[in-house]
Amino acid sequence: MMLWRQFVMEWRLYSRDRVALFWTMAFPVVLLLGFGSIFRDGASPRLSLVRVASLAPGPRDAALDAALGDLQLKVQVLPKAEAETRWSKGETAAQLEPDGDGYRLRLNSYLMAQAGATAGLVNQAWLVAQSRLSGAPEPRRVPTQVESPGRKRSANYAAFLLPGLLGLNLVSMGLFSVGMVNVSYREKGKFRRLAVTPLPKWIFLLGQVLHRLTVTVVQAAILLLVGQLVFGIQNQGSFLHLLLIMTLGTGCFMAFGFALSGFADTSEGYAAISNLVFFPLMMLSGVYFTLDTAPAWLQHTVALMPLAPFLRALRTVFNDGGSLAGHGAGLALVAAWGLAAFALALRRFRWA
């Protein structure tokens, strides 16, 4: 009964706070629309190549052009002077120049991810062109197929991003909305009046957790709706599993916020502490990209953090329609982090 009143009051006060409403409800949608639109057309952005025009184009150039044309590559042919200007501005990732009886590639050391991939494609085209020039039979290619890991359907980057954003929302809600609010309330003395009442701390904390939990559900529902309406992304798995994972994640990251708020006396101090936790968690847990190429020790460390297993389970259900059977250990890890954080929060929580 006490808990219910606390929960209802949290909602009532929250719904009167327009700024908080915007940041929790509208901002993630803006983020999804922004990122989703940038990467809407394909799984990866298109690679581009600057080709310096030959002074006297011959059959070799024509064969290479034909071979390049078959690839997923945007080729821009420029005169030498113009290509050099572009290069010196740093806009070119890879530049192909005629060199003797062949070619030379210049790769931009700052843009190696694109430049490296482009170099591979150019080399492939050059091999094909040489083979055609020598009259050999057309080389065969390995057939490829683009698929999501769960094989249910081929999903694009926006579909990969959506669960990441759901997870990120939970973390930022926990660290910034819950933790920050608690520190600033304590700083302003808003808890002192509660401290002289018989209201048990755990009811107050649990009331907040339940409120944020329901806020998260509403927020997730809005994101899913926008994802479906704008990008045609659908939840492939069971909504019950989705709710289960989201609830677990919310509880865990709320508790993180509560626990951290016990370690800061001022809002400024809390901002530093929470960013210290937030950024590594965000960058290393596979919100935006996977960590397959990171060193092994880093991957092992990250695997012990709660966000990565949470996101894996979320993507299994949401993107691939898979079951949670293989995620027991991961979700147990999330729950353990949550319980540990809540216990720490209760220990460290101060009214004043």
Partner 1 sequence: MNGSALRIRGLHKAFPKVIAVAGVDLEVAKGEVFGLLGPNGAGKTTTLEIIEGLTAADGGEIEILGLTWSRHGREIRSRIGVQLQSTSLFNKITPREALDLYGSYYPRCRPTSELLALVQLEEKADAHHITLSGGQQQRLALALALVNDPELVFLDEPTTGLDPQARRGLWDVVRGMKGEGRTVVLTTHYMDEAEALCDRLAIMDHGRVIATGTPASLIAELAIPSVVELTFNGSAPDPADFAARLGLAVEQRGDLWEIPTPDPKALLPRLLETAEAAVIPFQQVHIRRATLEDVFLHRTGRSLRE
Residues lying near partner 1 in the complex (CB under 8 A) are found at 1-2, 5-6, 9, 12-13, 16-17, 188-190, 192-193, 195-199, 351-352
Count how many residues are written for the chain.
352
Question: DSSP letter string over 121-137?
Answer: HHHHHHHHHHHHHTTPP
CB distance 253 to 211 below 8 Å: no
* Cα dist from 241 to 126, 151, 190, 201, 236, whole Å: 50, 19, 38, 31, 11
Q: How far is the CB of 308 from partner 1 (least distance, A)?
A: 36
| For partner 1, the closer CB: 87 or 351 | 351
| For partner 1, the closer CB: 204 or 318 | 204
Q: How far is the CB of 200 from partner 1 (least distance, A)?
A: 8
Tokens of residue 271, six digits: 């901002």
Helix (H) or strand (E) holding 321: none
Q: How far is the CB of 275 from partner 1 (least distance, A)?
A: 26
Residue 71 to residue 127: CA distance in whole angstroms: 13
| For partner 1, the closer CB: 82 or 187 | 187
Q: How far is the CB of 189 from partner 1 (least distance, A)?
A: 4
Q: How far is the CB of 348 from partner 1 (least distance, A)?
A: 16
Tokens of residue 52, six digits: 């310096």
Max alpha carbon distance in the chain (Å)? 92
| For partner 1, the closer CB: 8 or 221 | 8
Report the candidate in 229, 226, 224, 213 with the shortest Cα–Cα distance to residue 314: 224
| For partner 1, the closer CB: 60 or 190 | 190
CB distance 284 to 291 below 8 Å: yes
Q: How far is the CB of 10 from partner 1 (least distance, A)?
A: 10
A 10 A CB-CB count for 143 gives 5
Q: How far is the CB of 5 from partner 1 (least distance, A)?
A: 5
| For partner 1, the closer CB: 212 or 327 | 212
* Cα dist from 217 to 24, 174, 180, 245, 259, whole Å: 11, 14, 21, 11, 22
| For partner 1, the closer CB: 4 or 279 | 4
Helix (H) or strand (E) holding 107: strand 102-107
